[in-house]
Structure 1
Amino acid sequence: MESCPWHPRRYARQINAWLAAGNLKATIHCTLRLSQAAEAHRMQAHGGLLGKIVLIPDE
């Protein structure tokens, strides 16, 4: 990766620092069970989401 002209490791370190400092946050649109993955895929394909879809394990 160091041969890449835009140095992804350097950017990854900066992004991780922002996350640790609370300066960068992910917006979560909704949380669904893993068994609802097909629905999550349909939602993503339809568009209009205002954040990420988080999948959690089924209980």
Structure 2
Amino acid sequence: MRMSSLADYAVVLMSAAARHCGGIRCNARALATETGLPLPTAQKLVSKLSAAGLIESVRGAG
């Protein structure tokens, strides 16, 4: 089975987000830095994963 690179990046992003589970909130910029993904890609994936109900996200600083 082959996965697209975006799906592979989503798995990497989800595992990074899971490491912060129960801790402090982290933003797309922090996840991008931690995983080495470009920021626009991380933002796109956070949006898609949130829409799918796999992660919770809020817009803005709050």
TM above 0.5: no
Structure number with greater CO (CA < 8 Å, separation at least 6) is: 1
Larger radius of gyration: 1
Decide which structure has greater strand share.
1
